[in-house]
Structure 1
Amino acid sequence: MSPSWAAIAPLRSILPVLRQQQVPIIWVNWGNRPDLLNISPALRHVYNPTGTGVGLGDPLPTNQAPVLTAGSWAAAVIDALTPDPADIRVDKYRMSGFWNTPLDSILRNLSRTTLFFAGVNADQCVIATLQDASFLGYDCILRRDGTATTSPDYCMQATLYNVSQCFGFVTDTAALLAAALAQPEDPPDPN
C-alpha cells in the first residue's frame, strides 16, 4: 500500500469538524485540458523524461484514465475523501495551486488569511502551494499526519523541516481538532 494512504484517516476525521465550524474546504487538484494546450513541452518532459512511460494526458494502463486531465478519474479526489457539495474545487496546472488559478482570489473573497494544508505529494505540490501562499502573505499551517508523499522518507522530513523553518507551522490532526472543538459554535457579538 502506498504511504500516501496514511493521510486519509486523519483527513476523514477532521473534515466534518472543519465544515461544522464553517471553515471552507478547498480541493486543489491537477486538471489539465484534454488537449494539453496549457502545458509546456518542458513540463510534459518532467512527468515522462524518457518519452517511453506514462505522462500527462496519457492513458493509465489500469483503467485508461488520462493522467491529470480535468474530469478524469486520474485527476479526481480519491473515493475515500468525498468532497461536500459546498466545498470549493480549484483545478491547477503546475505544482503550485496558485499559479494561473483563481485560488488567491477565492481566498481573498472569503477573507481568509490562515491556511491549513494537507494532501499529497508533500515534497512537490503541497510544498509548492504552501510556499506560494507564504510569499503572498498567508499564514500557513501544514498538517503532518494529513500530508504524505510517494517519494523517499527523507523528502517528507525535509518538507516538514522547511515548512517549520521558513514558511509556517507544522501541526497534527489531534491539535487541530482540539482547537476547533474548543471554539464556540457562534462567537459572541463584539458590539
Structure 2
Amino acid sequence: MNSPLYKLGIAPNAWAVNASFADITRPPIPPQPVILTTESKTLQIDLVRTAIIVIDMQNDFCHPHGWLAEIGVDVAPARTPIAPLQTLLPALRVRNIPVIWLNWGNRPDLMNISAGIHHVYNPTGEGIGLGDPLPKNDAPVLMAGSWAAAVVDELEQQPQDICIDKYRMSGFWDTPLDSILRNLGRTTILFAGVNADQCVMTTLCDANFLGYDCILVKDCTATTSPEYCWLATLYNVQQCFGFVTDSSRVLTALNDR
C-alpha cells in the first residue's frame, strides 16, 4: 500500500486502486434531508440522492418554428414550464442536485427507429416526419445535434449539467440514463418537461418500475394534448407511480434547510 491510489469511476460509485490494492468501499455521504410537501403527502427526501430530469424542452416541441408548430399544434402550453424552470434549476444547481436534460435526438441514419415510431411523427407518409427539414430553417426534425433537437434558448444549460439523447418516449429505453443515475447514487427523481402525458409520463413510469422515487413538478410540466390527458396524468402519477408537487414547494424545501 506504499504506492499512491488512483480514483476509478464517478463518486459516489468509485474505487481507489494501485497495482496491488483496490479499495472498493463507498464512503458514506452525509445526508441532506429536507421536508417537501406534495398534493398527497408530506415527504422527507435526501438532496444528495435527488436529481431532476427535464424532458424534451426543445425547439421541435416548444418553439413557434419547431416541428409541433409546423404541423399545426399550439405550442403555447409547452412553453409554460420555461419560467418556473428558470427559477428552479439554478436553485437546484446551488445544492449540487444534478440537472439532466433528456431530449429526443435521433441518429442521422434513423437506423434504430421502427416504422411504428415513424408513423407517430408522419402518420400519412406525406408530412414532415423524423429527419425531414423544417420549412422555416431546414433543421432536420428531432435529429441529434440539430437546432430542432436543441433545448430552447430561454433555458440556459450549464457545463455541469448532463445531456442525454433518447429515441423513444421513455428516456430509459436504449439510453444510458439508468446507468448515469445509479453511478451518481440518485434515487429520488424530480420530473419536468413536455409532453406530460407522453414522454414525461412514460419516463416516469419506467423510473418507478426500476425502483426510483418519482416526483412530478406540476408547474414545470405541461402538455399540448387535451386537458383530460393532463388530468389523467396527474391522477395516475399520484395513484400509481409517485407524487405531485410544484416548484414553489421545492424551493421552500431547499430554503428551509
Q: CA RMSD in A?
A: 0.8
Code of the residue aligned with 1:73 in structure 2: it is: W
> Could you say which structure has the higher helix fraction?
1
What is the DSSP-based 3-state SS (H/G/I as helix, E as strand, rest coil) of the residue aligned with 1:10? helix
Larger Rg: 2
Match of 1:101 in 2: 175
With the length of structure 2 as denominator, give the TM-score of the two structures.
Answer: 0.70
- Offset at residue 79 of structure 1 (A): 0.5
Code of the residue aligned with 1:179 in structure 2: it is: A
Deviation digits for residues 108-160 of structure 1, max 9, x if unmatched?
A: 00000000000011111000100000000000000110001111111111111
> Could you say which structure has the higher strand fraction?
2
Q: Gaps spanning 5+ residues in structure 2: where?
A: 1-74
Counterpart mapping for 1:145-160 below 5 A: 145-160=219-234
Partners in 2 of 1:60 and 1:48 — Cα distance?
13
Counting matched residue pairs gives 183
Identity of aligned pairs, percent?
68
Counterpart mapping for 1:26-105 below 5 A: 26-105=100-179
Partners in 1 of 2:135 and 2:224 — Cα distance?
19
Code of the residue aligned with 1:174 in structure 2: it is: S
Deviation digits for residues 17-49 of structure 1, max 9, x if unmatched?
A: 000010000000011011111111121111111
Match of 2:63 in 1: none
Within the candidate set 16, 20, 29, 2:90 is matched to 16
Code of the residue aligned with 2:251 in structure 1: it is: L
| 1:7 is the counterpart of 2:90 | no
With the length of structure 1 as denominator, give the TM-score of the two structures.
Answer: 0.94
- Offset at residue 60 of structure 1 (A): 1.1
What is the DSSP-based 3-state SS (H/G/I as helix, E as strand, rest coil) of the residue aligned with 1:177? helix
Moved beyond 3 Å, runs of 4+: none
Partners in 2 of 1:62 and 1:148 — Cα distance?
25
